[in-house]
């Protein structure tokens, strides 16, 4: 199955319908992510090192196909591996729900300290879960962090309007949208209405409050679940309140092109009345690239400049493009773009490469500027189709430097584990987090290895750049996952 980006099979039909098939990345099904560039990283066990949540939403559980699981890899002084991990399904003791075929548990996740106990918790969804007679009603749970990390114990986040939409939880983002010091959770679905739970959750799953916002994006049906394609949380205007970037298909034109909307946080929560239109790009991260104190918005538009029927695509580039919108006290300000034809970015902008299909921000060298990793998972290398590569670009006072220090990494790079193989989709998801506790962001990336089994590659920071010294792979078989079917381990990381 084709997918509009490396995360959400739910929107595949939507992409084909609204873009004439322009979003045709790869032969895999996968799920979306919360898409929030958190600094610092998630810390579920409170040890000061970043932890990584990798989905396996296509995995078998107790013989049930596609029931889904998550794998929590805990940070250590030597990085992440399967030696210190927790694998959780809906059949794990204390976890809300029951593992059923096709639920897709783990397809979407977002972290924050939702109960204020000092440990990060995880909001996680099963967007295809059957609820009563509603086949794709969807479900969301919050799993509690503890000194032992995530154990699977948690509560259900009840859908307040189940008859108004499907795919409850297909998009999640966590932040403090009203600046009251308590974590809020934004939950998307197949409609254009986003439900925001504020003030955290208590031990029974009751939130401090709830409200809705409705950005100008397409709503959908069971066959075409539009709604938001991704939600990204971060402080763009520096007011200590989290803002939300809502990605979807705009409603102003007949064609319905992809569009991002900046929805600012205020003392009363997110305000659509003050929303601003941004450059397109489904996968988004927010971080301070140029060190001016404001969060910059980086969005990946990994599609080509024309659709399959030859229709020109606005603000697009063959092979994909990354759009950067710089933050300011007034919100989004100036913009710039990066393609594989920019500076010393490796490769050449060619149709179908998918440059920008995934990306993330983190400070690799500890200089105070957020650095950028961009995946082009459909990149062909030495004639091998869709093997994939990632590019690491470093932040500076003038923004992302596309000339100095640029790194291109593939499985054929010396020291990187594995080999360039057809349809590996190296960089299916990418994550920059400090998992060793040294104050420098390390790189964890997923692939579609072995026809959909998936796998992770860990590449640490040496304090100056991403290095292959100390690199390793994390396989599904060593992480408590069945390789029956296509578990897609590492297709999405929690944000």
Mean pLDDT of the 330-359 span:
96
The average pLDDT across 228-248 equals 96
Q: Is the pLDDT of residue 33 over 80?
A: no
Give me the mean pLDDT over the 66-84 stretch.
98
Where do we find the tokens 């990798």? 54
Q: What value does the mean pLDDT take over residues 11-35?
A: 31
Radius of gyration from C-alpha coordinates of the chain: 20
* Residue % of the chain over a pLDDT of 70: 90
Dist. CA 80–CA 240, nearest whole Å:
31
Output the six-digit token pair for 153: 């114990």
Contact 281, 300 (CB under 8 A): yes
Q: What is the dihedral sign for C-alpha 388, 394, 395, 396?
A: negative
Is the pLDDT score of 193 beyond 70?
Answer: yes
Assign 174 to helix, strand or coil: strand
Contacts of 83 (CB under 8 A, 6+ apart): none
Residues 147-161: tens digit of each pLDDT: 999 999 999 999 999
pLDDT at 2: 24
pLDDT higher than 50, residue 3: no
pTM above 0.75, yes or no: yes
pLDDT tens digits, residue range 94-144? Answer: 999 999 999 999 999 999 999 999 999 999 999 999 999 999 999 999 999
Residues 6+ apart with CB under 8 A from 148: 45
Checking if the pLDDT of 373 tops 90, the result is yes
Q: Does residue 424 or residue 11 have the better pLDDT?
A: 424
Which residues 6+ apart lie within 8 Å of 31 measured at CB?
7, 8, 9, 10, 55, 57, 104, 106, 107, 108, 127, 491, 492
pLDDT at 23 over 50: no
* Both tokens assigned to 126: 């099963």
Residue 249: predicted pLDDT: 87
Lowest average pLDDT, out of 24-38, 324-338, 403-417, 448-462, goes to: 24-38
Which phi-psi region, left, alpha or beta, contains residue 237 (left: φ > 0; alpha: ψ -120 to 50)? alpha
Q: How far is CA 240 from CA 62, 175, 294, 477, in A?
A: 45, 11, 10, 42
Q: Is 40's pLDDT higher than 70?
A: no
User: Is the confidence at residue 251, as pLDDT, over 90?
Assistant: no
Is 70 exceeded by the pLDDT of residue 18?
Answer: no
342 has pLDDT over 50: yes
**Do residues 70 and 87 make contact, with C-beta atoms less than 8 angstroms apart?**
yes
Question: Tell me: the pLDDT tens digits for 266-308?
Answer: 999 999 999 999 999 999 999 999 999 999 999 999 999 988 8
């Amino acid at each position: 199955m084709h997918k509009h980006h490396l995360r959400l099979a739910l929107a595949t039909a939507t992409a084909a319908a609204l873009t004439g098939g322009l979003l045709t990345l790869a032969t895999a099904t996968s799920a979306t992510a919360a898409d929030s560039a958190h600094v610092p990283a998630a810390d579920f066990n409170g040890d000061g090192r970043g932890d990584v949540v990798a989905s396996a939403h296509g995995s078998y559980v107790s013989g049930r196909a596609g029931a889904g699981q998550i794998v929590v890899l805990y940070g250590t002084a030597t990085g992440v591996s399967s030696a210190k991990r927790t694998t959780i399904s809906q059949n794990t003791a204390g976890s809300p729900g029951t593992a059923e075929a096709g639920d897709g548990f783990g397809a979407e996740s977002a972290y924050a300290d939702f109960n204020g106990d000092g440990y990060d918790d995880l909001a996680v969804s099963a967007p295809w879960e059957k609820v009563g007679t509603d086949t794709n009603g969807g479900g969301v749970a919050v799993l509690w962090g503890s000194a032992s990390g995530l154990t699977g114990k948690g509560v259900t986040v009840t859908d307040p309007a189940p008859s108004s939409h499907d795919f409850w939880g297909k998009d999640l983002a966590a932040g403090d949208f009203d600046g009251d010091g308590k974590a809020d959770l934004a939950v998307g679905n197949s409609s254009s209405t986003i439900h925001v739970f504020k003030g955290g959750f208590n031990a029974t799953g009751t939130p401090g409050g709830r409200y809705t916002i409705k950005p100008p994006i397409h709503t959908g049906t069971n066959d075409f679940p539009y709604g938001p394609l991704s939600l990204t949380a971060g402080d763009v205007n520096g007011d200590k309140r989290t803002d939300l970037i809502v990605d979807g298909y705009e409603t102003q034109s007949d064609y319905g092109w992809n569009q991002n909307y900046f929805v600012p946080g205020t003392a009363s929560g997110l305000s659509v009345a003050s929303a601003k239109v941004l450059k397109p790009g489904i996968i988004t991260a927010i971080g301070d690239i140029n060190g001016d104190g404001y969060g910059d918005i980086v969005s990946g538009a990994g599609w080509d400049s024309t659709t399959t029927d030859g229709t020109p695509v606005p603000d697009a580039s063959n092979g994909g493009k990354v759009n950067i919108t710089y933050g300011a006290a007034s919100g989004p300000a100036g913009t710039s773009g990066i393609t594989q034809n920019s500076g010393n970015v490796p490769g050449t902008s060619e149709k179908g490469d998918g440059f920008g299909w995934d990306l993330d921000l983190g400070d690799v060298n500890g200089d105070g500027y957020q650095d950028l990793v961009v995946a082009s998972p459909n990149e062909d290398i030495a004639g091998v189709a869709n093997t994939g590569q990632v590019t690491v670009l470093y932040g500076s006072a003038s923004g992302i430097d596309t000339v100095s220090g640029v790194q291109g990494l593939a499985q054929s790079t010396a020291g990187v584990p594995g080999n360039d193989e057809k349809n590996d989709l190296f960089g299916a998801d990418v994550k920059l987090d400090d998992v060793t506790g040294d104050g420098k962001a390390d790189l964890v990336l997923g692939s579609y290895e072995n026809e959909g089994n998936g796998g992770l590659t860990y590449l640490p920071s040496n304090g100056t750049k991403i290095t292959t010294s100390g690199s390793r792979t994390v396989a599904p078989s060593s992480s408590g996952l069945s390789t029956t079917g296509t578990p897609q381990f590492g297709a999405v990381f929690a944000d």
